[in-house]
Structure 1
Amino acid sequence: MTVALMWEAKAAPDRAAELLAWCRAHPLAPAPPRRETYAAPGGRVLVLTWWDAPLDAEVPELPDPPAELTARPVHRWRFEQVPED
């Protein structure tokens, strides 16, 4: 079973580059089989990780960044892969 974790934060004004650098500097241990980082207009940063685990498994997640880097609390979602019919 594969679970995907989405971690999304919105940077404080003029802090997008710092927030992105903070995310990229935080490895997860153990490392996920797959990790991707995205940036979007408005200072949003998205980190996706994929794990070979059930939906309720305990897997490492990025912590909250320093409050001064963000405009609002971090959003987190957890998804379970659905087999194709």
Structure 2
Amino acid sequence: MWEARAVEGRGDELLAWARAQKLSAEPLRREFLSAPQDRVLVITWWDADYDADLPELPEPEGELVMRAVHRWRFESVGEG
């Protein structure tokens, strides 16, 4: 999971930037979400072990974000 907060008013630009990023391998699924305060969240699903070496979205260059990107890794424990 990748989360960043854009500089005020640039959330749409950050979302477009995230959508345009190519990974060296394709996940099973990639979902893009937005939230108030110009936040963008990207969740990727992989068929891999928790500690596998997987590609991640980079930090946006320049002054697009207000702070460093946050990254978390989770593993499924089932539904319901």
Same fold flag (TM > 0.5): yes
Q: Which has the higher contact order (CA 8 A, sep 6+)?
A: 1
Match for residue 30 of structure 1?
25
Structure number having the greater strand percentage: 1
Which structure 1 residue ranges, 5 or more long, are not aligned? 1-5
Question: One-letter code of the match for 1:15?
Answer: R
Whole-Å Cα distance in 2 between the matches of residues 83 and 21 of structure 1?
31
The percentage of counterpart residues that share the same residue type is 61
Q: Which stretches of structure 1, 4 residues or more, deviate above 6 A after TM superposition? A: none
Q: What is the DSSP-based 3-state SS (H/G/I as helix, E as strand, rest coil) of the residue aligned with 1:21?
A: helix
TM-score by length of 2: 0.91
Q: CA deviation at 1:8?
A: 0.1
Q: CA deviation at 1:81?
A: 1.4
Which structure 2 residue ranges, 5 or more long, are not aligned? none
Match for residue 73 of structure 1?
68
TM-score by length of 1: 0.86
Matched length: 80
Match for residue 59 of structure 1?
54
